[in-house]
Amino acid sequence: MSRAEMDRLGWDALDVLLVTGDAYVDHPSFGAALLGRWLTAHGFRTGIAAQPRWDDPDAVAAMGRPRLFAGVTAGALDSMLAHYTAFRRKRSEDAYTPGGKAGARPNRASIVYANLVRRACPGLPVVLGGIEASLRRVSHYDFWSDSLRRSIVLDAKADAVLYGMAEHSLLALAEALEQGEDIAAALWDIPGAAFAVPGSASLEDALELPSHESIEAEPAQLVKATLLLERHVHQNRRAACQRSGERMVVLTAPGEGLEAEALDALYTLPFTRRAHPSYDKPVPAEAMMAGSLNIHRGCAGGCSFCTLALHQGRRIRSRSARSVLEEARALAGTRGFNGSVSDVGGPSANMWGAACTGDMASCARSSCLTPRLCRHFSARQRDFVSLLRSVSAVPGVRHVRVASGWRMDLGLADPEALGAMVREFTGGQAKVAPEHRAGHVLRLMRKPAFETFERFLKLFERESARAGKEQYVVPYLMSAFPGCTVRDMQELAAWLGGRGWRPDQVQCFIPLPGTAAAAMYYAGVDLEGRPIPVARGDAERRAQHDILAGQGGAEHAARREAIRKPAGAARAGGPRGDSPSRPGGRSPGQTGRGAGRNSGRNSGRGRKG
C-alpha cells in the first residue's frame, strides 16, 4: 500500500499494481487482497491502491510505475449499485469503506480508475476485472442512464477485461508480459479475456453475438445476445465475439478456473484477515466477514436476475474438507475470535461438493435446477452436513452457522440432510429465496414453483420444533420484476397476510447489466421473445413495491430488511430492502472475486466472486 512497505520488503519496484474501489482488507473474501496474495505467491511484486482519489494521478503513482501492468476493479459492488437505490436515491453507507461512509469510489469506477492509471502511467497496459467490468464485457442495458451501452472495454479504452474469477487469467497475463510478449498478442491465449480488435477481423468457429447496432435497432436482440453469452460461459468450449461500430470485441473461452487443489492452496496464503493498519476507522465488511468460511464457487441455479452464473459460472468448484477444517482451526486461533463461525457457505451453501456428471460442453440448459433438477446434477448434501459437524468439533469453535442461504429445491431433494441443517446449524434465521408467488413470474426468474417454499416452511417448522428452537425464515421477495403486475403483487401480499406476515420492506428489482432479467426489462419480451408487461417508471415500480413495503416509500426501502408479525403468530424473517446485499447476505466480485457472501442475486456482486 505504500513505498515504505515496499522498502521493508526490499522491493525497488512493483511488477503489478491493483487499483480497487474497496478499502484494503487482507482477507480471502476481498478480491484485491486475494489476487495480490496470489500474484505475490507466484513471484510478482504486487501493490494495492485502495480507493484512490480519482482526481489525482499521484494517488496511483505513489509506489512508482509498475513494470508489467495495472489491474483495475470497482470493488466488491458495482459502483452504480453501491451509490444508488432502486429508485435512484443516493445511499449514505458503504460497508467496504473505513467508517462505512459512502462516496469513497466514483460512479462507473472501472472507467474512471482506468483513465486515472493512464494519466499516471502513460503507455502502461491496463486491464479491468471484478463484477462491474465482468458483467459489462459486451453490450448491456444500463439502468442508471436508461440506455444501451457498448462493451466497457471500448468505453474505458482498456487493453482487456479479465472476466469472471480471474486468478488463472491474471497470472497468465503477468507471465506473458514478464517474458516480453506484446499484450495484444498475448490476450488471444489467455482464458476469460475480453478485448477489442478491428471490426474487419474474422474468427473461425466463434460464437457471434448480435452486434451493438442490431440491438439498438431491435431491443429483443439483447435477449438473444444474453442467452448466447450464458451459453458461452457454461459450455466453455470456444471464443465469442460481438461487433460494435468499427471494432469487434473478442471473448476467449472462460477456462477451467481453480479446481479443488488450487483452491485449497489459495486459502493457505498468509492472509492477516484484517484491514490495513493505516485505517483509523473500522471497515464494516471486515467484521461481517471475520468469522466466515468460503467453501465453494459457482452456482447451478441460473436465476435470470442473478450475476453469479455469468461471473463465477454454473459449475461448482469446491474446496476439500481438509482445507476448510485447516482454515477453521486457523480462525479459531486468531486473536479476538469469539467461538462463532458465522457462515460456512458459498453462493448457495448446500451446493458444496456438487458436480455435473454429464457433458457441460453440449448442455443447452439455462439452469441445473429449474424447471426441475437435472439428472446429471449430483449434490452431496449429507457430506455438507458432515463438514459442518467437523467444523463444529474444532477446538475453540462453539457455534457454526450457515448464513449465506440454502437452495430450497435442492435441500428438499434430501430432507434428512436439510432437517439436520435446520436443527443444528441455523442461527435463529434461515435465508431462502422464494422471490415471488406468481407462477409466470417465477418461470421468468428461473425459480422453482412457490409450492417449493411452502414445502420448505413445513419442514422448517417441523425440524425447528423437533430441536426445541424458536427460529425464523427470512424469505427474499422482489417487486416490479419483468412480467410482474400489480395484481401479482396483491396476490403475494394476500398470501403473506393470510399467514399474519407483514413485510416492512421488499427488494425492488434492479436490472443489472449482463443478466437475462435486464434484457427482458430493456426489450419488454420474455426469453422466447413474447411481449410481457414491464413496470418501467418510478411510479409504476413504486406502485408494486409499496404493496409489500407499505407506506413510506424510499424511507422504508433504504433500511435493512425485516418482516414483522403480530404477537402470538408463528414467526418468520423478512425480505430484504432496497439496499445491495451485504457481506453475510446473498450475492460478485473484484478482479477475480468479490467480497460478498452470496455473489450475484440482484446486488451486482458475487459471493466472494
* Contact yes or no for 149/137 (Cβ under 8 A): no
Does 368 carry a binding-site annotation? no
Closest CA to 354 of 266, 260, 435, 430: 260
Closest CA to 283 of 85, 116, 95, 151: 95
Could you identify the residue written with the cell 425480505?
Answer: 575
CA distances from 24 to 175, 277, 446, 456 (A): 25, 10, 36, 39
Phi, psi of 387 (to 5 degrees): -60, -45
The DSSP line for 217-283 is H-THHHHHHHHHHHHHHHH--S-EEEEETTEEEEE--------HHHHHHHTTS----EE-TT-SS--
Return the SS3 of 477: strand
Does 299 carry a binding-site annotation? yes
Could you identify the residue written with the cell 401480499?
Answer: 493
Q: CA 552, 554, 558: angle at the middle one, nearest 5?
A: 115
Looking at the DSSP bridge assignments, the partners of residue 344 are 293
Distance of CA 1 to the CA centre of its chain: 26
Characterize the bridge pairing of strands 472-479 and 429-435. Answer: parallel
Amino acid in position 177: L
The CB-side HSE value for 304 (13 A sphere, CA atoms) comes to: 28
Amino acid in position 403: A
The CB-side HSE value for 192 (13 A sphere, CA atoms) comes to: 31
Rounded Cα distance, 325 and 392, in Å: 10
The DSSP line for 27-52 is STTSHHHHHHHHHHHTT--EEEEES-
First-residue to last-residue Cα distance in the chain? 23
Closest CA to 298 of 281, 322, 283, 315: 315
Does 241 carry a binding-site annotation? no
The DSSP letter of residue 99 is G
Rounded Cα distance, 125 and 70, in Å: 6
Known binding-site residue numbers for [4Fe-4S] cluster:
299, 303, 306
Binding residues: 299, 303, 306
